[in-house]
Amino acid sequence: MALWTRRGLAGATAALGLSALPHRPARAQGKSITVTALGGIWEEAVRTCFAQPYEKATGNRAQVLIGSPTQWLAQIEANPARPPIDALVTIPDLAIAAVQKGLVERFTVEKTPNLVHTPEEFIAPLDGHGVLFDYGVAGFTFHKGRVKQPPKSFAEFVERTAKGEWQASLPGIGYAVTPIMLIWAMAKALGGGVDNVDPFFEAVRKMGRNVSFWNSPNDFENALASGDADIGIYFDGRTWAWSDSGASFAGFLNPSEGGSINAIAIQKPKNASEEAWPYLDIMLSAEAQLAFAKKLNYGVTNRLVVYPPGLAERITPWQQAAFPPYAEIAAKRAAWVDRWNREIRR
Amino acid sequence: MRRADPALWLLRAVVALFILFMLAPILVVVALSFTSAGYVVFPLPGLSLRWFARMLDYAPFLQGLRVSLQVALGATLLSVLLGVPASLALARSHHPAALAAMTFLLSPLSMPMIVFGFAALFFLSRIGLGLSLPALLVAHGCVCLPYVVRVTAAAYRGLPPALEEAAEVLGASRAAVLRHVVLPLLRPAIAAGSLFSFLVSFDNLPLSFFFGSPGTNTLPVVMLSYVEQQFDPAIAAISTAQLAVAVLLLVLADRFYGLGRLVGQEGGG
């Protein structure tokens, strides 16, 4: 019996192992394209709002690759002649790096007709080699029960945090977009800018131990739920999604100086399938973007999009937010990280 | 009646606290997977299986689990097929070349896996394997190999050469000695190395991260991407399922082989 069961176990193991063998190397070509998506609800929205309309319109197949922008950029760099990805979503820093390395193609109205409905502000940062199609705004997320009167500006936030009115939690230097959503945004609001971030470091010194830092969005949500923090700098869309999931105590407010826009870019790698252009055009269309915004509570960039009541109050208009100089911030990033490690050391 | 030794009680208390310290985070994750809340909060407001339903409903979790199992099995097989012969050839040799080869085989242990994964992506892409299951198997196999080599080589060094000499004196060929003497005696070590290999591959993120494609995304990669965007208790549910796979493996190993033999507390053979 033991022998039989051992053989049975070995057979099952071998069957499972052998089923792994017939895979072909992943290559996006022909009538099948590979598109990327961040995980969870993001991936589900990509499938519903972009991949399905694309498949219906073209008869092609859109395979969705879940992962993260760093991984995808490395994969494209490793295979520039045969990129395994046809349509890329990424963060501005990495999008700029892809442009500088000559890895991506220029968008044109001929290839993506919906480009005409995208404001120049979302095309210029990548010099046309990609488009910012979706954005979140980093403002004040607070516990409505513990912070009855949230601050209206960054300056007020710093003053009241320094006085100890609440425990604040800010993004730490281990989080990828902290240089944008915190260092630059706060420095600018307090009179500095990309060439002068002294006001930010001065503000952190002033707030002292009344501020802590998170390095993963989940840490911030846990801190707010557990009472370790009362208020912090976080994204509007994430706050609303969290609130909808049951954390109804979470509120969001865009600072009067304007929270920073943290956008997601779309790009097409050079040598990727031409069949990706219709997919990217759908990503830029008003209909698909509205469906995407409804699922994620994030703003989109097509100027024809009209948000329905309920959603409109949640989306921060990009005109009321601060538009970061992504390329200049990317150039300063290393110096800011170094200064953070020397001065803040947390 | 013997008086209780205070030092012994202190030791027991420290050990108990240590075990609690090690297990508490895991127990919290398992408990969270049964929460009725829509977000992560502790203590639990109520009990529910909704997050296990969500785990089954979210297709990438199950696809990732299937790929992870395939890769872990394949990489374990690969590392055993390469590692056992290499161990037999190198373990008892004192030649500088053998020592260098052994160090080389163990070297993936000393390298940060994220660096290894990044390098492997560029190397395997350059030789045409690109993002594929074979590429993932090769990369995982390299990292699993040291676990098989280390355990098997140590066991082979501890095996008295006289056993093989006796078999040869009695007329056994080298192949017969290998089949009827050496391999049966090394079986616990090979099984232990295989188990370590499987678990190392099954949980691996830094390597799999670089080789993700629509057909080769492993569970840890899917989990990382999910948790970065959506921190709900579904991630606790899939972690619990992943833990259950590891525990099941240990139970099977115990059922079919005996954990005591695997960890060398009982005689092999």
What tens digit of pLDDT does each residue of A107-161 get? 999 999 999 999 999 999 999 999 999 999 999 999 999 999 999 999 999 999 9
Q: For residue B158, give every residue at least 6 positions away whose Cβ sits within 8 Å of its Cβ, in sequence order, or none.
A: none
Distances (CA, A) of A28 to A45, A114, B117: 21, 24, 22
Measured distance CA(B205)–CA(B116) in Å, rounded: 12
When mean pLDDT is compared over A37-41, A278-282, B36-40, B203-207, the highest value belongs to A278-282
Name the residue among A335, A340, A299 with its Cα closest to residue A316.
Answer: A299
- Please indicate, yes or no, whether residues A339 and A303 belong to a single structural domain of this protein: no
Instruction: Please indicate, yes or no, whether residues A224 and A284 belong to a single structural domain of this protein.
Output: no
A13 lies in some domain: no
Q: Give me the pLDDT at residue A28, please.
A: 46
- Same domain? A224 vs A188: yes
Domain B59-229+243-262, CATH class in plain words: mainly alpha
pLDDT at B227: 87
**Which whole number is the average pLDDT over A77-106?**
95
Q: Is A78 on the interface with B (CB under 8 A)?
A: yes
Return the pLDDT at A15: 46
Residue B263: predicted pLDDT: 61
Chain B partners of A67 at a C-beta cutoff of 8 Å?
209, 212, 217, 221, 225
Judged against a pLDDT cut of 70, whether residue A298 lies above it is answered with yes
Domain membership flag for residue A8: no
A128: helix, coil or strand?
coil
Q: Cα angle vertex A136, ends A45, A147, to 5°?
A: 115
What is the least distance, in Å, from the CA of B144 to any CA of chain A?
Answer: 16
Q: CA of A32, closest CA in chain B: separation in Å?
A: 12
Residue A22's pLDDT is 41
A19 inside domain: no
Tell me how crowded residue B99 is: count the other CB atoms within 10 A of its CB. Answer: 12
Q: How confident is the model at residue A176 (pLDDT cuts 50, 70, 90)?
A: confident
Between CA A314 and CA A299 the distance in angstroms is: 9
Same domain membership, residue A76 and residue A143: no
CA distance A14 to B200: 19
The predicted model gives A6-29 an average pLDDT of 45
Determine the residue of chain A that is closest to B234 in CA distance.
Answer: A40
Residues A129 and A164 in one domain: no
Is there a domain that residue A14 lies in? no
Convert the pLDDT of each residue in B210-263 to its tens digit.
998 998 999 999 999 998 888 789 999 999 998 898 888 888 878 877 777 666
pLDDT score recorded for residue A26: 46
Establish if A15 touches chain B: CB-CB under 8 angstroms. Answer: no
A244 and A155 belong to one structural domain: yes
Which residues in chain A are contacts of B224 at CB distance < 8 A? 39, 68
Whether B44 and chain A come into contact, CB under 8 Å, resolves to no
| Predicted confidence (pLDDT) per residue in B43-71, tens digit | 888 999 999 999 999 999 999 999 999 99
Q: A15-29, A193-207, A209-223 — which one is most confidently predicted on average?
A: A193-207
Report yes or no: A107 and A128 within 8 Å, Cβ to Cβ.
Answer: yes
CATH of the domain at A145: 3.40.190.10
pLDDT tops 80 at residue A13: no
User: B129 in helix, strand or coil?
Assistant: coil
Cβ separation of B73 and A20 shorter than 8 Å?
yes
- Indicate the pTM of the whole model: 0.83
The pLDDT value recorded for residue B2 is 63
How high is the pLDDT of residue A217? Answer: 87
Q: What is the mean pLDDT of residues A313-328?
A: 93
Average pLDDT, chain B: 90
Mark yes or no for CB contact B134/A23 under 8 Å.
yes
Count of structural domains within chain A: 2
Instruction: Report the pLDDT value the prediction gives residue B246, as an integer from 0 to 100.
Output: 83
Residue A98 lies in a domain: yes
Instruction: Answer yes or no: do A125 and A186 share one domain.
Output: no
What does the pLDDT read at residue B38?
Answer: 86
Q: Does the beta carbon of A84 lie under 8 angstroms from any beta carbon of chain B?
A: yes
Q: Are residues A101 and A229 in the same domain?
A: no
Q: Do A63 and B209 touch (CB under 8 A)?
A: no
Mutate to test the interface with B, among A48, A66, A215, A234 (most CBs of B within 10 A): A66
Instruction: Please determine, for residue A62, whether its predicted confidence score (pLDDT) is greater than 90.
Output: yes
Q: How confident is the model at residue B42 (pLDDT cuts 50, 70, 90)?
A: confident
One-letter amino acid identity for B126? R
Please indicate, yes or no, whether residues A217 and A335 belong to a single structural domain of this protein. Answer: yes
Same domain membership, residue A230 and residue A336:
yes
- Which residues are registered as beta bridge partners of A61? A32
Do the domain assignments include residue A25? no
Give CA–CA dist B218/B212, Å, rounded.
7
* A334 in the same domain as A249: yes
User: Which of B79, B116, B131 to mutate to probe the A interface, most A CBs <10 Å?
Assistant: B131
Determine, for residues B214 and A43 on separate chains, whether the beta-carbon distance falls below 8 Å.
no
Asked whether residue A1 is assigned to any structural domain, the reply reads no
- Mean pLDDT score across all residues of chain A: 90
Contact B224, B205 (CB under 8 A): yes
User: Could you tell me which chain A residue has the CA closest to the CA of B231?
Assistant: A218
Q: Is B59 on the interface with A (CB under 8 A)?
A: no
**Burial class for A15, CB neighbours closer than 10 Å (0-12, 13-18, 19+):** exposed
Residue B227 φ then ψ, to 5°:
-70, -25
Span A169-181, average pLDDT: 93
Give the ipTM.
Answer: 0.81
pLDDT at site B261: 65
At residue A114, the pLDDT reads 97
Residues A218 and A247 placed together within one structural domain of the fold: yes
A79 band by pLDDT with thresholds 50, 70 and 90: very high
Element of type H or E holding A199: helix A198-207
- Out of B38, B58, B60, name the one closest to residue A245 (CB): B38
Q: Give residue A337's domain range.
A: 137-260+325-343
pLDDT greater than 60 at residue A23 = no
Domain assignment present for residue A37? The answer is yes
* A residues 231..290 contacting B (CB < 8 A): 241-242, 245-247
